[in-house]
Amino acid sequence: MASSLTAFFRSDRAAAVCSTAILVLVLVALLSPLLAPCDPVAVDLESVKQPPSGRHLFGTDEKGRDILSRVLYGARFSLAIGLLATALALVLGTAAGLIGGYFGGRADAALQAVTDVTLAFPSLLLAIAIALVLTPGFISVFLALGLVGWAAVARLVRGEVLSLKRREFVTAARAGGSSSARILLRHILPNCLPLILVAGSLKIGTAILGEAALSFLDLGVRPPAPTWGFMISSSREFLSSAPWMAVFPGIFLSATVIAFNLLGDTLRDRLDPRLDSRRRSVEKCGR
Residue 247 has pLDDT above 90, yes or no: yes
Per-residue b or e along 58-81, where b marks 16 or more CB atoms closer than 10 Å to that residue's CB: bbbbbebbbbbbbbbbbbbbbbbb
pLDDT at 11: 60
More confident residue, 76 or 5: 76
Residue 5 has pLDDT above 80, yes or no: no
Q: What is the mean pLDDT of residues 227-251?
A: 89
Q: What is the mean pLDDT of residues 247-258?
A: 91
Q: Round the average pLDDT of the chain to a whole number and report it.
A: 85
Residue 287 has pLDDT above 70, yes or no: no
- Per the CB < 8 A criterion, the answer to whether 188 and 163 are in contact is no
Q: How confident is the model at residue 150 (pLDDT cuts 50, 70, 90)?
A: very high
Residue 269 has pLDDT above 90, yes or no: no
Question: What is the C-alpha to C-alpha distance for residues 261 and 220, in angstroms, rounded to an integer?
Answer: 22
More confident residue, 149 or 15: 149
More confident residue, 220 or 147: 147
Question: What is the C-alpha to C-alpha distance for residues 257 and 87, in angstroms, rounded to an integer?
Answer: 17
Crossing angle (nearest 10°) for helices 138-164 and 123-133: 130
- CA torsion, ordered 162, 164, 169, 174, to nearest 10 deg: -30
Q: How confident is the model at residue 72 (pLDDT cuts 50, 70, 90)?
A: very high
Residue 96 has pLDDT above 60, yes or no: yes
Which of 259, 254, 252, 258 has the alpha carbon at shortest distance from 75?
Answer: 252
Q: CATH no. for residue 267?
A: 1.10.3720.10
Which of 202, 207, 205, 85 has the alpha carbon at shortest distance from 139?
Answer: 85
Phi/psi at 52 (5° precision): -55, 135
3-state secondary structure the chain: CHHHHHHHHHHCHHHHHHHHHHHHHHHHHHCHHHHCCCCCCCCCHHHCCCCCCCCCCCCECCCCCEHHHHHHHHHHHHHHHHHHHHHHHHHHHHHHHHHHHHHCHHHHHHHHHHHHHHHHCCHHHHHHHHHHHCCCCHHHHHHHHHHHHHHHHHHHHHHHHHHHCCCHHHHHHHHCCCCHHHHHHHHHHHHHHHHHHHHHHHHHHHHHHHHHHHHHCCCCCCCCCCCHHHHHHHCHHHCCCCCHHHHHHHHHHHHHHHHHHHHHHHHHHHHCHHHHHHHHHHHHHHC
Q: How confident is the model at residue 168 (pLDDT cuts 50, 70, 90)?
A: confident
Q: How confident is the model at residue 107 (pLDDT cuts 50, 70, 90)?
A: confident
How many domains does the chain contain in total? 1
pLDDT at 27: 92
**Which amino acid type is present at position 135?**
T
Residue 186 has pLDDT above 50, yes or no: yes
Q: Tell me which of 58-67, 140-149, 170-179 is least confident.
A: 170-179
Q: What is the mean pLDDT of residues 3-14?
A: 59
pLDDT at 52: 93
Per-residue b or e along 227-248, where b marks 16 or more CB atoms closer than 10 Å to that residue's CB: bbbbbbbbbeeeeeebebbbbb
Question: What is the C-alpha to C-alpha distance for residues 222 and 136, in angstroms, rounded to an integer?
Answer: 7
pLDDT at 143: 92
Residue 285 has pLDDT above 60, yes or no: no
Of 90-99, 100-109, 164-173, the range with the highest mean pLDDT is 90-99
State the residue range of the domain holding 205.
Answer: 2-286
